[in-house]
Structure 1
Amino acid sequence: MNRFTYQQIEAGEHLDLIRDKKSFEVVLLEGHLSDAVQLIERHIESRDMSCRIYTSKRVATATIGLLDAGLGIAALAGIAIHNIATYNPDWEICRYLVDKKIEVTYMK
């Protein structure tokens, strides 16, 4: 899989991969994770394609939250609503908060 840093994403080095519908990864995102996601989302949508953005292990986290006064139920409901709203996306952008990276995967 092709790997980029935030600086390379800012420079547009990933644009050919989006055009060619090839998956890639962005690493070393210290402090730039949200900025990178927004930039990639904008590039995907500028090509009239859709994307779903989610956080790795979100279902597991929400399930653990079930033990905490129903907060997990609300989180799971939010996840379900998000999945319906972004049904059948062209791309998925997965945020890995601990690893400070994102994976951008072409789905179709």
Structure 2
Amino acid sequence: MLHKSHRLGWSDFDIRYRILLGLFVATLVGGMGWSAFWHHNQYVAADTARIAAQLQAETQQKTINELTAREKALLARDSLHAQQLADARATIHQLQNRPQNTSL
């Protein structure tokens, strides 16, 4: 038989110390859980911001590339128009400087 002074469980600690130790362990575990939750939220927020910045940079680069291609096309078209205008002026100049045949 068990004596009245004999306790089951941890023989080194009194019951009040067991309760305090249990609360301390529960607080540590809860704190670690809360810390993990908080840090995960911080990571998700930072990762979301990083992805948004990356998408913005990609969109900006795409816009720059499209505008550069459009600029090149417009410059090529303007160059072609300038060449056609120069050819037309040269033809007009040649026709104006050509001696006219006045013999009828």
Pairwise TM-score range, normalised by the shorter structure: under 0.3
TM-score by length of 2: 0.21
Q: Normalized against structure 1, the TM-score is what?
A: 0.20
Structure number with greater CO (CA < 8 Å, separation at least 6) is: 1
Structure with the higher strand share, 1 or 2: 1
Higher CA-based Rg: 2
